Structure 1
């Protein structure tokens, strides 16, 4: 037995002893781990910043032999890759990196069914893709997409020779992009990681193509959100990063995978000790969505949840970061006995709200939850909750493509000494340090 094999066996044994992996399994090193940039965008009401929206995005590389690099949101709530096309000349496109078709030796113009566009054809199939905010219109190409940069070559290498982090994919080249969110955010495009059934065709599914064509030992990807802006968040492909786990992964089966969403059956929701009647029959769902910066809840219950999670701050300080002020727990009860428990440090708006009472000439500072009302949808139905950034920051999540399940484990947040000397990521629009000034409401 080699020294490496002995050390690996020892590590696997220690991991089992510490409960980070189940006995009989061996951790698999991810094929690629991508650091994520972070952007803060202020939400302004009455000329005051009341909160921030956030987005996380990382680099991918499109085309061969000379790659074109783009930043994308890795979104479990959608299922296609789009990047801006060089044919789009609006400001919404030109402020981003654009894909130049004539610079790629591997791009093939295709119709929606995957067949090459007929020679001398003047008509191209188009598609319109809508997101929670905004939409894009574009045409199709078949192209090589990689998670890591590769040295340019004078020859077009056959698919797969560049490494296991590349795959052939149907890509949407956006010829039109709405101003929101693409004028506001820095990322160029979106890489959807929803299940294959969410895509127009399975060959649009990036991870589905990776799993099918690259022989991945572990058909999973893992998602980690850092609390510190000094240390990057990360997404890993072809395995999860065991270093980021403080507790074992607990697996929950995907509910109705034919819909294409990473959604889980929700047996109950407990808010500040009160069980919501909405989910008493066990027919609610929770969707793990890496593209959403808030927790989402059906509009029918958001007001009650806000009321239960709000708390008065004693002594009325001039300012406070509400994420540091204690509050009740929010518990999502999933199948197989798995609970996702979120505390005030994760669900709270940083900015408090000062309520001014004109009748009594008094004021009260209140800390509130940050909740996104989810309207009824034909696909998701009226009982859909969204596990966005607050849940994904507390829990490391692993998405098992083959077994159609999600693993939740408490995340290990980096220690100060782990801050890299040279940052591997960028932060855009970071809010000022120190407690935010509360917003004011007169009653």
Structure 2
């Protein structure tokens, strides 16, 4: 009963705390190996505004797997920078040139910028090298659109704006940034992922206003339906029921990391997790369902099934050869506090079957496999899963920065939009 009362109060306070929602665009980028498309990366991104009095507009991925806001700098001459909007220091009166510890530095000039503090940050297969500024950052819309904004630039009552430290990229790798339509990345991991708490924009927002320290993510499954991130609470209309909350384990590592007590494929338990010591990182910046390398053989075997012989010759091959239509065991992740996440076969399967030839009979047949990629993150443990897009599309997910917990509820997915 106490738990139910606490949730009710939290939701009421969130509404009063002026939560706001940012729509997200979606981009699907093919991943090629030796010139062949082997998979796709999906990115969900929204708009931010940086600087005063005339804010500069950028698009960023809202990434729970990283801890900094980075943007391309005008000084960057790499192709990956030039194909995106670049932050221009000269257009902002609010910028402060700083080192990573917040100490002031002289205005950069030719040959001087190299003596400043810099940082190298890896993002998946990419990397950036950047320096630091302190700036005014607004999520979703400029500060002036809020009725509580004061002409003197006071942002204390503007829930979606804050002063924060920003990494400005002076070098960006071509892969993967050149192919992406967004400009930068806004890290929404825990603040221990950042060099300093002032790099953590959401923490700065929550500390500087009446904003509740919670944000919720909805990723649409169907084309034509918008995705979104809500700050200051969660959008209960995007969830089918109340959130089931799971505590973050080892928050000092900076990730939204939750304990997995058991993993099942149907009724078969995954041996690796039978001791209750597996974990999962909930990551809005990844397209995949990832599993520990040492569990891959078992998981693929437990979820594999043979594609039935085609019985309807008139059926189009593209339909009859889609593994998402072939029944298979559900993948079940049992978490703490009685929360379970379930992915059905259609939600975890690769669409195209694998062609197998029997060594004994030489007979060819098709096997349906799970779309799971191996994950190796030694610093976070040897039994870590990655909950990316497949989980986040099925479950509306809320991230409680103050309470260090993650909430899950089945997402209320609207039907696909039919374009006539």
* Same fold? TM cut 0.5: yes
> What is the match of residue 382 of structure 1?
382
Change (3 A) 1:367 1:177: same
Change (3 A) 1:420 1:260: farther
Secondary structure in structure 2 of the residue aligned to 1:323: helix
Structure 2 counterparts to residues 64-75 of structure 1, below 5 A: 64-75=52-63
> What is the match of residue 139 of structure 1?
131
- Establish whether residue 175 from structure 1 lines up as the match of residue 163 from structure 2: no
d(CA) in 2 for partners of 1:48 and 1:148?
37
Secondary structure in structure 2 of the residue aligned to 1:117: coil
d(CA) in 2 for partners of 1:339 and 1:186?
35
Contact kept, 8 Å, 1:20 with 1:248, in 2: the verdict is: no
Contact kept, 8 Å, 1:65 with 1:152, in 2: the verdict is: no
- Establish whether residue 196 from structure 1 lines up as the match of residue 184 from structure 2: no
d(CA) in 2 for partners of 1:354 and 1:298?
25
> What is the match of residue 142 of structure 2?
150
d(CA) in 2 for partners of 1:233 and 1:322?
26
> What is the match of residue 240 of structure 1?
234
Change (3 A) 1:324 1:162: farther
d(CA) in 1 for partners of 2:157 and 2:403?
28
> What is the match of residue 89 of structure 1?
77
Q: CA RMSD for the aligned pairs?
A: 2.6
Change (3 A) 1:88 1:344: same
Q: Give the alignment partner of residue 215 of structure 1, picking from 210, 214, 217.
A: 210
Change (3 A) 1:20 1:99: farther
d(CA) in 1 for partners of 2:397 and 2:90?
39
Secondary structure in structure 2 of the residue aligned to 1:396: strand
d(CA) in 2 for partners of 1:274 and 1:357?
26
Shift of 1:31: 2.5
d(CA) in 2 for partners of 1:103 and 1:251?
44
- Establish whether residue 229 from structure 1 lines up as the match of residue 217 from structure 2: no
Contact kept, 8 Å, 2:46 with 2:140, in 1: the verdict is: no
d(CA) in 2 for partners of 1:276 and 1:152?
53
Shift of 1:203: 0.3
Change (3 A) 1:179 1:254: same
Secondary structure in structure 2 of the residue aligned to 1:327: coil
- Establish whether residue 165 from structure 1 lines up as the match of residue 166 from structure 2: no
Secondary structure in structure 1 of the residue aligned to 2:81: helix
Contact kept, 8 Å, 1:67 with 1:149, in 2: the verdict is: no
Change (3 A) 1:20 1:370: farther
Structure 2 counterparts to residues 274-353 of structure 1, below 5 A: 274-316=268-310, 318-319=317-318, 320-353=321-354
d(CA) in 2 for partners of 1:302 and 1:20?
42
d(CA) in 2 for partners of 1:326 and 1:74?
34
> What is the match of residue 406 of structure 1?
406
Shift of 1:158: 2.0
Which is further off, 156-165 or 290-299?
A: 156-165
Secondary structure in structure 1 of the residue aligned to 2:272: helix
Shift of 1:148: 2.7
Secondary structure in structure 2 of the residue aligned to 1:89: coil
d(CA) in 2 for partners of 1:189 and 1:20?
40
TM-score (norm. length: structure 1): 0.84
TM-score (norm. length: structure 2): 0.88
> What is the match of residue 393 of structure 1?
393
Change (3 A) 1:65 1:252: same
Which is further off, 346-355 or 99-108?
A: 346-355
Which is further off, 398-407 or 42-51?
A: 42-51
Change (3 A) 1:235 1:420: farther
Shift of 1:348: 1.4
d(CA) in 1 for partners of 2:78 and 2:369?
39
- Establish whether residue 129 from structure 1 lines up as the match of residue 121 from structure 2: yes
Shift of 1:157: 4.1
Shift of 1:162: 7.6
The runs of 5 or more residues in structure 1 that have no matched partner are 1-18, 422-443
Shift of 1:36: 1.2
Q: Give the alignment partner of residue 65 of structure 2, picking from 50, 65, 77.
A: 77
Shift of 1:151: 7.3
Change (3 A) 1:104 1:23: closer
Secondary structure in structure 2 of the residue aligned to 1:266: strand
Question: What count of residue pairs does the alignment treat as equivalent?
Answer: 399
- Establish whether residue 104 from structure 1 lines up as the match of residue 92 from structure 2: yes
> What is the match of residue 206 of structure 1?
201
d(CA) in 2 for partners of 1:420 and 1:22?
37
